Amino acid sequence: MGPLIPLGQIATGWDFVIALLIGIAFGFILESTGFSSSRNIAGVFYGYNFVVLRVFFTAVIVAMIGLQYFDYMGWIDLNLIYILPTYVNSMIIGSVLMGLGFVLGGFCPGTSYTAIAIGKLDAIVFTAGLFLGIFMFSELFPLLENLYYGESLGNVTISEILGVSNGLITFLFVIVALIAFYVTWLIEKRVRNRITEYKF
């Protein structure tokens, strides 16, 4: 039955329309979970607010479990899902830069747009910087190309590398996520007791 577009259930021309609808839904959820607030985003790094971690981890584990049950029921064929290639170098460097941007700017690329939507001035400055960064990266790309494509592992999944089933990986991931939820809840409680000037 699925994936819908590769199997021709939905014509290819509709992908932009679907992307638009999903984008609206994504932006709405980002905003309603409070991601447009820089305090929530930066809170992860200072240990007083882990809502970002909880929301994303929850989204990931729900999607992981759901997709595998869908695959089992025959509603979607996971073999046809596109898997992004893994470039080890650029992933590590990119993650560090992303984290730095997070804590310095107080937004991630997606949340900066939701923050613009509710009229935050700092988000406009952040987005201008974002486009400047994209422009600089594009201009410098010939210099960075080897680094960018270095250590390519191809379209691999964790279960392929480790040789275990997807189910086991998902189960372990869920356990890790739940432990993370509990631990961050403990950290939050301790840190918040010491903070007096900030109301949640």
Partner 1 sequence: MNRNYLLLTALLIILSGGLLFLPEKSDINRENPEDLMWDIVQPTRYLSTDKVAKMIIEKDPLLLLIDVREDYEFEEFTLPGAVNVPFDSILTDYADEILSIEDVNTVLISNDDIRADQAWVIAKRLGYKNIYVMKGGLNCWITTIIQPVEPAETSPITEFELYKFRLGASAYFTGAEIPEESGEKKKLNVTRRKKETVVEGGC
Closest approach of partner 1 to the CB of residue 19, in Å: 28
Closest approach of partner 1 to the CB of residue 18, in Å: 25
Closest approach of partner 1 to the CB of residue 116, in Å: 33
Instruction: Supply the Cα-derived Rg of the chain in whole angstroms.
Output: 20
Q: Considering beta carbons, is residue 31 or 71 the nearer one to partner 1?
A: 71
Catalogue the long-range contacts made by 85-89 (C-beta closer than 8 Å, 24 or more residues apart): 85/152, 85/153, 85/154, 85/155, 86/152, 86/153, 86/154, 86/155, 86/156, 87/148, 87/149, 87/150, 87/151, 87/152, 87/153, 88/150, 88/151, 88/152, 88/153, 89/147, 89/148, 89/150, 89/151
Q: Considering beta carbons, is residue 115 or 177 the nearer one to partner 1?
A: 177
The residues that bridge with 86 in the sheet, in sequence order, are 154
Closest approach of partner 1 to the CB of residue 174, in Å: 4
Closest approach of partner 1 to the CB of residue 66, in Å: 9
Q: Considering beta carbons, is residue 125 or 187 the nearer one to partner 1?
A: 187
Residue type, 45: F
Q: Considering beta carbons, is residue 45 or 70 the nearer one to partner 1?
A: 70
- Footprint of partner 1 (CB under 8 A): 61, 64-65, 68-69, 71-72, 165-168, 170-171, 173-175, 177-178, 181, 185
Q: Considering beta carbons, is residue 11 or 73 the nearer one to partner 1?
A: 73
Nearest to 3 by CA among 61, 79, 59: 79
